[in-house]
Amino acid sequence: MKKEKIKWWGMILILMFLAGGSFAVNAEDDEDDEDEDEEERRESSSSSSTSNVVTQATTSTSKSVETVILKDSDGDGILDKDDKHPNVAEIYIVEDNDRNGIVDNFEK
């Protein structure tokens, strides 16, 4: 008996929630309709001769690729146009100004 009463009260509560939710949704829709009606009345009552012309802006883009080949014949990382010795890598060029057989970079 108790279980049956609880079951019926539960069903009644569920129905009340469903009905209350539908009324709330309808009330919001009515408010939106009223707002739209007011806006339409305002627009129709205020007639102005100003017209705005809107044109779509066009955007054009272009893509260009240019290949530039710079030579480094000896592979030392210095381009031929900037290299004093374009055919010999800089690692192999040493200076020995005092002519003692030891590279000047190692004597410092």
55 lies in a domain? no
107 lies in a domain? no
108 lies in a domain? no
* Residues 74 and 40 placed together within one structural domain of the fold: no
51 vs 75, higher pLDDT = 75
Q: Which tens digit of pLDDT belongs to each residue from 70-103?
A: 999 998 889 999 998 889 988 888 888 888 888 8
Q: Which tens digit of pLDDT belongs to each residue from 16-41?
A: 888 776 655 555 555 666 667 677 66
Give me the number of domains the chain comprises. 2
SS3 readout for the chain:
CHHHHHHHHHHHHHHHHHHHHHHHHHHHHHHHHHHHHHHHHHHHHCCCCCCCCCCCCCCCCCCCCCCCCCCCCCCCCCCCCCCCCCCCCHHHCCCCCCCCCCCHHHHC
Q: Which domain holds residue 15?
A: 1-50
10 lies in a domain? yes
56 lies in a domain? no
* Residues 2 and 36 placed together within one structural domain of the fold: yes
